[in-house]
């Protein structure tokens, strides 16, 4: 039996981006070079080009056609290891507008928000698009990811990063410019969304529209940087009703040094990235059964000031403004990688060895 050419179950039609993850290096591929000191350099292969360091260069032509996992010689004689970056490497080295969700948190979001193939998922904000890529991989070509971003410059960087990673505009991805509170109700019908992922300063301001869009039983997961944000999400949801009790956690990942008898934790680690909190949407008109356990003594005592009533500013929550000049440069770099898949002038923000959480 012959399958139609557009049948996505046909092994000859790989899922979007899968063919770029395999096989020998091709022109346009991003390649991660590790130098003898363990430093990472990300380049995009282009025939005839060279990657320069202060001691000499590596020729792109020596890599094009070579298998992934190759050692290439630098003009100084040093060996450089060449590997295709994994998604977790890519998001840490790609051009960034906003702070990205780290791979350890992206993995937990996909698992604990139960992002499944074919799901309809809403995400806000898009930022640099790092989390979007994990979500797109999880929903697959037959799912839907509706991402909302209120800043046009960030949305442009994210879309260029996605195009560079998947090699094309991912068919499941729609990026909508605007505030989630305004745009979600006009984009997704009530009860039509399976999962919502919020990575923004004030997710509590979006709970009403998210609750409306989510199907009964749907999952909301919020990624927040501070305890005040965490508390505000939880208390706003409790006050509103229609949600399960929030479940919150943080995760610390400690890398290990592995060398002969020197097997020990790395000296440095990312002590804090963010907190995750999940809630599930109840059916219309249903409120969660009263908790059997009473709140801890003093939890809502006379010293308790409901954080939901406090005014806040982005600076209060630790947000640092990014200069327009830097953003223009980042957007230019992201566009160059996506369009040509053939420029090696991208500023390398790759982490030092052992730094990736």
Ligand X SMILES: C[S@@+](CC[C@H](N)C(=O)[O-])C[C@H]1O[C@@H](n2cnc3c(N)ncnc32)[C@H](O)[C@@H]1O
Binding flag, residue 148, ligand X (CB under 6 A): yes
Tokens encoding 343 = 């420029």
Tokens encoding 344 = 């090696």
Residue with tokens 């999940």: 278
Q: Which residue, 20 or 122, is less far from ligand X as judged by CB?
A: 122
Q: Please, what is the minimum distance in Å from the beta carbon of residue 100 to ligand X?
A: 4
Q: Which residue, 125 or 218, is less far from ligand X as judged by CB?
A: 125
CB atoms within 10 A of CB 239: 11
Q: Which stretch binds ligand X (CB under 6 A): 56-64, 81-89, 122-130, 296-304?
A: 122-130
Buried b (16+ CB within 10 A) or exposed e, 251-277: eeeebeeeeeeeeeeeeeeeeebbbbb
| Window 179 to 218, contacts with ligand X (CB under 6 A) | 179-181, 199-201, 206
Tokens encoding 291 = 């908790």
Q: What angle do CA 57, 61, 63 make, to 5 degrees?
A: 85
**DSSP alpha helices (H): ranges in the chain?**
87-93, 103-112, 130-139, 152-166, 180-187, 207-213, 227-240, 324-340
Q: Please, what is the minimum distance in Å from the beta carbon of residue 157 to ligand X?
A: 9
Contacts of 151 (CB under 8 A, 6+ apart): 97, 125
Q: Which residue, 132 or 231, is less far from ligand X as judged by CB?
A: 132
Q: Which residue, 203 or 218, is less far from ligand X as judged by CB?
A: 203
Q: Please, what is the minimum distance in Å from the beta carbon of residue 12 to ligand X?
A: 33
Shortest Cβ contact with ligand X: which residue? 125
Contacts of 47 (CB under 8 A, 6+ apart): 27, 60, 61, 64
How far is it, in rounded angstroms, from Cα 39 to Cα 74? 14
Q: Please, what is the minimum distance in Å from the beta carbon of residue 178 to ligand X?
A: 7
Among 149, 194, 235, 333, binds ligand X (CB under 6 A): 149
* Count, residues near ligand X per rule CB under 6 A: 23
| Window 86 to 115, contacts with ligand X (CB under 6 A) | 98-101
Asked if residue 78 lies in contact with residue 58, where contact means CB atoms within 8 angstroms, the answer is no
8-state DSSP, 98: S
Q: Which residue, 99 or 192, is less far from ligand X as judged by CB?
A: 99
Q: Which residue, 20 or 180, is less far from ligand X as judged by CB?
A: 180
Q: Please, what is the minimum distance in Å from the beta carbon of residue 86 to ligand X?
A: 16
Among 25, 90, 146, 154, binds ligand X (CB under 6 A): 154
Q: Which residue, 43 or 130, is less far from ligand X as judged by CB?
A: 130
Among 27, 64, 122, 130, binds ligand X (CB under 6 A): 130
Q: Which stretch binds ligand X (CB under 6 A): 127-135, 164-172, 276-284, 286-294?
A: 127-135
Contacts of 305 (CB under 8 A, 6+ apart): none
Q: Please, what is the minimum distance in Å from the beta carbon of residue 264 to ligand X?
A: 31
Asked if residue 188 lies in contact with residue 146, where contact means CB atoms within 8 angstroms, the answer is yes
Tokens encoding 168 = 């094309």
Which stretches of the chain bind ligand X, using CB under 6 A? Answer: 98-101, 124-125, 127-131, 148-151, 154, 179-181, 199-201, 206
């Amino acid at each position: 039996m012959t399958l139609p050419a557009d049948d996505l179950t046909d092994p000859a039609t790989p899922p979007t981006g899968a063919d770029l993850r395999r096989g020998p290096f091709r022109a346009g591929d991003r390649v991660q070079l590790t130098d003898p000191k363990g430093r990472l350099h990300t380049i995009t292969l282009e025939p005839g080009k060279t990657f320069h360091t202060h001691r000499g260069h590596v020729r792109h032509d020596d890599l094009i056609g070579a298998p992934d996992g190759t050692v290439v010689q630098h003009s100084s004689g040093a060996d450089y290891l060449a590997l295709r970056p994994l998604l977790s490497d890519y998001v840490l080295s790609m051009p960034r507008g906003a702070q990205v969700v780290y791979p350890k948190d992206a993995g937990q979001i996909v698992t604990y928000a139960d992002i499944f193939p074919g799901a309809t998922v809403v995400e806000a904000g898009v930022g640099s698009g790092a989390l979007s890529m994990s979500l797109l991989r999880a929903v697959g070509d037959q799912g839907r990811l509706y991402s909302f971003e209120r800043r046009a410059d960030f949305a442009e960087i994210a879309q260029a990063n996605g195009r560079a990673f998947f090699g094309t505009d991912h068919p499941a991805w729609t990026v909508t410019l605007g505030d989630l509170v305004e745009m979600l109700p006009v984009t997704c019908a009530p009860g039509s969304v399976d999962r919502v992922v919020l990575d923004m300063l004030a997710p509590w301001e979006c709970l009403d529209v998210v609750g409306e869009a989510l199907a009964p039983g749907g999952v909301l997961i919020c990624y927040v940087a501070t305890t005040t944000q965490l508390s505000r999400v939880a208390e706003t949801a409790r006050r509103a009703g229609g949600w399960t009790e929030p479940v919150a956690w943080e995760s610390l990942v400690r890398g290990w040094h592995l060398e002969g008898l020197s097997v020990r934790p790395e000296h440095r680690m990312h002590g804090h990235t963010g907190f995750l909190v999940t809630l599930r949407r109840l059916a219309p008109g249903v409120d969660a059964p009263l908790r059997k356990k009473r709140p801890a003594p003093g939890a809502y005592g006379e010293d308790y000031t409901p954080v939901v009533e406090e005014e806040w500013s982005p600076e209060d929550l630790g947000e640092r403004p990014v200069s327009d000049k830097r953003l223009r440069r980042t957007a230019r770099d992201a566009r160059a990688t996506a369009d040509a898949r053939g420029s090696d002038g991208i500023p390398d923000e790759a982490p030092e060895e052992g730094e990736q959480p």
